[in-house]
Chain A
Amino acid sequence: QVQLVESGGGVVQPGTSLRLSCVASGFTLGGYGMHWVRQAPGKGPEWLAYMWYDGSKEYYTDSVKGRFTISRDNSKNTLYLQMNSLRAEDTAVYFCARDFIVGDIVTNAFDIWGQGTMVTVSS
């Protein structure tokens, strides 16, 4: 069964750090680009970061650039998100999501999502 499972969320104080993990099963992580997306309570999804299938390139949205770092260990089928200098506005459910590939074409959609892990930043 193809699935993604996130972990590492929790309640943290502003200014601290947290590392999220996303373990893939049922497919080879190294064959796919991977994203992190978050969703604040009652809000829509917000794309955060993307890493190429081989880890050679990464992109971020402006609100997390310089604070968050996406990485991956394809040998462990695991994607990571290192979050530093956390702020109250980072409070959200964090999802990892897989590139949707049709034939040999990588679309810009997300076809497999994890169940999400909640991050609460509060003093």
Chain B
Amino acid sequence: SYELTQPPSVSVSPGQTARITCSADALPKDYAYWYQQKPGQAPVLVIYKDTERPSGIPVRFSASSSGTTVTLTISGVQAEDEADYYCQSADSSGTYWVFGGGTKLTVL
């Protein structure tokens, strides 16, 4: 197994850009995925395969990958983006899945 490490919190003002990192403790396994979770709700997939955006996810959500670190970027942050964000990956053989500890995004 391996771990994904995220900063506990990120704060930005409306309209600014938020960046949330996710670092793996080993070489890259599978792609990285990102979820948004608001209180009392299930997580929602916002990024898959490192950089792809599912249909229905606003274009202000993007992501990048470099080595063992992936970064979720939210451009022009809106109040509705305030939520917990989790990165997730899996081993290359598809037998083990792991989530990061989560980052609370606060919109000031």
A108 touches B94 (CB 8 A): yes
Proximity string of chain A (57-81) to chain B, C-beta cutoff 8 Å, 1 when within and 0 when not: 0010110000000000000000000
Q: Once the chains bind, are B49 and A107 in contact (CB under 8 Å)?
A: yes
Residues of the A chain whose Cβ atoms lie less than 8 Å from the Cβ of B84: 44
B97 within 8 A of A: yes
Q: Are A111 and B54 in contact (CB under 8 A)?
A: yes
B81 to nearest A CB, angstroms? 18
Which residues of B have CB within 8 Å of A61?
1, 96
The answer to whether B89 touches A95 (Cβ under 8 A) is: no
Contact with A along B90-108 (1 / 0, CB 8 A): 1000111111111000000
Contact B95 A59 (CB under 8 A): yes
Most buried by A among B30, B42, B45, B95: B42
Q: Please classify how large the interface on chain A is, using the bins under 10, 10 to 19, 20 to 34, 35 or more.
A: 20 to 34
- Which of B97, B98, B100 lies at the interface centre, i.e. has the most chain A CB atoms within 10 A of its CB? B97
- Cα A102 to Cα B31 in complex, Å, equals 14
How big is the B interface, by class?
Answer: 20 to 34
Contact B99 A107 (CB under 8 A): no
Name B64-107 residues within 8 Å CB distance of A.
84, 86, 88-90, 94-102
Please measure, in the bound complex, the distance between the C-alpha atom of A39 and the C-alpha atom of B94, giving whole angstroms.
21
Residues of A within 8 Å of B35, CB to CB, are 45, 110
- Check: B48 CB closer than 8 A to any chain A CB: yes
Excluding A47-B98, A102-B52, 14 further A-B contacts by CB distance (< 8 Å) are A44-B100, A44-B101, A45-B35, A45-B43, A45-B86, A45-B99, A47-B97, A100-B48, A107-B48, A108-B31, A109-B33, A109-B48, A110-B88, A113-B44
Q: List 8 A-B contacts (CB under 8 A).
A: A45-B43, A59-B96, A61-B1, A102-B48, A108-B88, A108-B94, A113-B43, A114-B42
